[in-house]
Structure 1
Amino acid sequence: MTSSAAPDATPDGQPGTGLRIDAERNRDRILAAARRLYATEGLGVSMAAVAREAGVGKATLSRRFATREDLITAVFADRMDAYAEAVTTALANPDPWHGFTDYIYAVCAMQAADRGFADVLTMTFPAAKALEARRTESYNGFLELIARAKDTGHLRHDFTSQDLVILLMANAGVINATGDAAPDTWQRLVAYMLRSYATPAAPISPLPDAPAPAALYRAMIRLSRVRSDNL
């Protein structure tokens, strides 16, 4: 009696096209689900929640992404590329001070567009080598941007790269607190912080409008509910 290959296997015993397509489809579903959840809820979302959102089992998720860091790296690879490119664009600006301020706004806008990325920029993931390599690349470019902006006399001499980390932490907090209730509040925070970094001679853009009192009140109610839910 002769035996035939299984429908989903090739003659050499390797998985066939059907299994490969299913595996790729599951991977795409997992990534899409993780992007949705991370963007709206931040990185606190559990792997189990991602599996439920994707409509796959935990075992399937683990086969595609063995660790949380693996999933985060895959989800935010394109955003980390954009993060690295932002400093390259800033360094190409013929006006180093405007390159510096444009970079600050660009990075903070990336945070505002995605709560998960807001968290990524204020955390470290030692096991996620590719993600951390892009972060290091961006950091080194930012050091050069700082030096150039100081040479113009417009950036305070005591500004350090740690001040950007502090700003990103503060911005992430504002974004998470205000949510959809007052989504543009971060812009006023960033504008005020840029004023604190500037020397008296630096050209400063006008302050964005403050959020309406009613919008901030809604944000405060929202934040209270979120904290109550977490108790």
Structure 2
Amino acid sequence: MIDKPCRGLRKDAERNRQRVIDAARELFAERGVEATLNDVAHHAGVGVGTVYRRFATKEELLDAVFEDGIDQVVCLAESALKQENSWDGFVWFVEHLCELTAQDRGLREMVYSSAYGGYGVDCARLRLTPPISQLVERAREDGYLRPDAEPTDMPILGMLAGTVSEWAGHVDPELWRRYVALLLDGMRHREDRPPLPVRALCDDQMDAAMRGWHPAG
């Protein structure tokens, strides 16, 4: 008899925690990581104190929301590597990566900036590098991908798709697909293509860019 209220409280607490996470995911997807814990509480329909009891800081909430999201990108890359044709796998990954980053502003900002998130998100982000590098190297070695394409080009493709969606998504939510198709066509290896005018960022430069970009809020 004594245990029943405790169990009920634990269930209520877990429901409230999941309610906050679900609301934060929706809100960050739409508005990006500029949304505050107060905004999340309002969107979830709970008191501000409920959010702060579950997540003492915004970084804790971001970890809970986006660690799985970044893992999803890793899984996409690993699935693309299983495709027999390296170009088909490369295209499949780019299209799905860009779909995620076009539709989820918060995930886009978490993947491309180190301004927010904690250790869990950092570890998940580091897991992106090996499978993405393998995708690029495999398609390049098979002669499908232009030889001056680099793994560090891949995150920028997602960023570009997200920018198109953020700018014109209210007019045509699928417009980003047009520009991803144009970018992919430009990445195919052809003997008559001149070399790209600027080298890709190296890993250190990419890290510096991520550290220097602070999304609004």
Name the TM-score class by shorter chain.
0.7 to 0.9
Distance 1:128 1:112 in 2: 23
Q: What is the correspondence of 1:35-50 to structure 2 with a 5 Å cutoff?
A: 35-50=25-40
Distance 2:74 2:155 in 1: 15
Q: Is the 8 A contact 1:96 1:145 kept in 2?
A: yes
What is the Cα deviation at residue 92 of structure 1?
A: 0.8
Distance 2:115 2:128 in 1: 15
Distance 2:138 2:67 in 1: 28
Q: Does 1:98 align with 2:88?
A: yes
What is the Cα deviation at residue 179 of structure 1?
A: 2.2
Q: What is the correspondence of 1:57-76 to structure 2 with a 5 Å cutoff?
A: 57-76=47-66
Amino acid aligned to 1:37? L
TM-score (ref. length: structure 2): 0.79
Q: 2:119 aligns with which of 115, 123, 129?
A: 129
Q: 1:149 aligns with which of 130, 139, 144?
A: 139
Amino acid aligned to 1:151? E
* Alignment partner, residue 112 of structure 1: 102
Deviations 1:68-124 (A, max 9, x none): 222122223433232111111111111112111111111011122322223222222
Q: Say which SS state the counterpart of residue 161 (structure 1) adopts.
A: coil
Compared CA separation, residues 17 and 57, structure 1 to 2 (3 A): same
Q: Say which SS state the counterpart of residue 73 (structure 1) adopts.
A: helix
Distance 2:72 2:139 in 1: 22
Q: What is the correspondence of 1:149-228 to structure 2 with a 5 Å cutoff?
A: 149-200=139-190
Structure 2: state its 5+ residue gaps: 192-215
Compared CA separation, residues 197 and 176, structure 1 to 2 (3 A): same
Q: Is the 8 A contact 2:77 2:93 kept in 1?
A: yes
* Alignment partner, residue 27 of structure 1: 17
Amino acid aligned to 2:26? R
Amino acid aligned to 1:156? R
Which structure has the larger Rg? 1
Q: Is the 8 A contact 2:101 2:159 kept in 1?
A: no
Q: Is the 8 A contact 2:146 2:190 kept in 1?
A: no
* 120-129 or 32-41: bigger deviation: 120-129
Structure 1: state its 5+ residue gaps: 1-6, 202-229
Q: Does 1:17 align with 2:7?
A: yes
Moved over 4 A (4+): none
Distance 2:40 2:131 in 1: 34
Distance 1:126 1:180 in 2: 27
Deviations 1:166-194 (A, max 9, x none): 22222221111112321111111111111
TM-score (ref. length: structure 1): 0.75
Q: Is the 8 A contact 1:90 1:103 kept in 2?
A: yes
Compared CA separation, residues 53 and 127, structure 1 to 2 (3 A): closer
Aligned residues: 192
Distance 1:164 1:187 in 2: 15
